[in-house]
Amino acid sequence: LSESRVFSKTFCNKKNCTEYKCFKCGKILKLNTFKCPECDHLQMPNIKQSYFQLFDESLVYNLDEDKLKQKFRHLQSEYHPDKFATKGERERRLSEELSSFINKAYTTLNNPYERGVYLLKLNNIDMKENETQQLDKQFLMEVMELNEQLEEIKEKTKLAAFESENDNRIKKISN
């Protein structure tokens, strides 16, 4: 990342980074808090959070696209750079970065194909550009079906069996 990038890390209080401190007043904030309720300053959000976390969605393929659009519009209305035109340089740049992050997240999650590839990436299956272009619909459908099966599992024994089967599928595909 370039030096001009305003937020490259958050000030996390915990290893899994579910909280961080306001850079201005030090108040403890939750992960998806982009404006401090105490001092009203924009924050340096955790850009390592997933797009699903940004929109407060579960890690699933099937999303309610209307709900996603509504959340996107709300986030953009809150953090659009035009709302911060009279603020200081730091907050203007933070709003630009945040707005860009929100746009990229929405664009990815709103496109079924991109959402599928992104889910694979979150599961450490990183697709190279040329491989992504060759990825067939049947494979993505299989991933969607497996994701739905996973959502329905309620018992630990069934989860362990599913995980084992999935590991075997991954090994088979990888070889």
Q: Which amino acid is at 126?
A: D
Range scoring the smallest mean pLDDT among 69-73, 91-95, 129-133: 129-133
Tell me what the mean pLDDT of segment 35-40 comes to: 87
Residue owning tokens 């209080």: 13
Tell me what pLDDT residue 146 has: 86
Range scoring the smallest mean pLDDT among 93-97, 126-130, 142-146: 126-130
Q: Which domains can be identified in the chain, with CATH numbers?
A: 19-116 (1.10.287.110), 146-175 (no CATH)
The span from the CA of 71 to the CA of 122, in Å, is 21
Tell me what the mean pLDDT of segment 76-104 comes to: 90
The span from the CA of 33 to the CA of 56, in Å, is 12
Tell me what pLDDT residue 133 has: 52
pTM summary value: 0.63
Concatenate the DSSP letters of all residues of 57-118 into one string: --S-S---HHHHHHHHHHHHHHH-GGGGTTS-HHHHHHHHHHHHHHHHHHHHHHSHHHHHHH
The chain-wide mean pLDDT, for the chain, equals: 80
Tell me what pLDDT residue 13 has: 41
pLDDT exceeds 80 at position 93:
yes
